[in-house]
Chain A
Amino acid sequence: DVKVTQSSRYLVKRTGEKVFLECVQDMDHENMFWYRQDPGLGLRLIYFSYDVKMKEKGDIPEGYSVSREKKERFSLILESASTNQTSMYLCASSSGLAGGGSQYFGPGTRLLVL
């Protein structure tokens, strides 16, 4: 089975802190994604990567950056956390091109910024 793991299930940070969210997948997938999910807004794509060191902006990249130094690892960075970045963050991975690939999700990280 595909396994996507995220470094933390719950995280509490203070405004202005730099926050790192880590995601690791074990199925050699080319594509990796970061989403955030908020009530009433559904899942929104922040960034995605289709190869090592490659990244593309999603729909809401402002305030975020990403890093993909190795194929299995995709990191989301909040340079200076703000309260409006309190959310559920979900990482996903997929292989292949056909139809965007079937995405496999991690359990999510609930981030609270105080």
Chain B
Amino acid sequence: DAKTTQPPSMDCAEGRAANLPCNHSTISGNEYVYWYRQIHSQGPQYIIHGLKNNETNEMASLIITEDRKSSTLILPHATLRDTAVYYCFNAGNNRKLIWGLGTSLAVNP
């Protein structure tokens, strides 16, 4: 099963960019990179996904390295509401996502 590595915690100042790294050392060619977040006491929320190219949506940007062994989620202007646990993983067509413990991001005023 695919597993990823993330730092357990990070801090960011409000209004600054938050860059959350993820290592996908076992990613295979047909697997996508996904990012979710979970705000305290809520269900996880899908943020973004990508295969090879960098992606951007209204929530965040996703940078995937050329070898696809790592990715970075960028929150361009972090707010206090972005304080959450962020999960990354790679997943293929088996529909199963392997959830790690994620990165706990604290956005400080």
Contacts and interface: CB of A to CB of B under 8 A. Distances in A.
Highest count of chain B CB atoms <10 Å: which of A4, A43, A48, A58: A43
Given A90-B44, A99-B34, A105-B45, A42 B100 contact: yes
A100 B44 contact: no
Say which size band chain B's interface belongs to. 20 to 34
A94 to B, nearest CB: 7
Chain B interface helix/strand/loop/mixed: loop
A16 interface: no
Contacts of A31: 95
Nearest to B47: A102
Given A100-B97, A103-B46, A108-B43, 17 more contacts: A4-B43, A42-B99, A42-B100, A42-B102, A45-B96, A48-B96, A50-B95, A58-B96, A90-B44, A98-B32, A99-B49, A99-B51, A99-B91, A101-B95, A103-B36, A103-B44, A107-B43
Contacts of B43: 4, 90, 92, 105-108
Contact of B95 (A4, A90, A97, A105): A97
Interface string B13-34: 0000000000000000001101
Contact of B32 (A45, A92, A94, A100): A100
Interface string A34-47: 01000010111100
B34 A97 contact: no
Interface residues of A, number: 26
B77 to A, nearest CB: 23
Contacts of B91: 99-100
Interface in B75-109: 91-97, 99-102
Interface of A: 4, 31, 35, 40, 42-45, 48, 50, 58, 90, 92, 94, 97-108
11 contacts: A94-B95, A99-B31, A99-B34, A99-B93, A100-B32, A100-B93, A101-B95, A102-B34, A103-B44, A105-B44, A108-B43
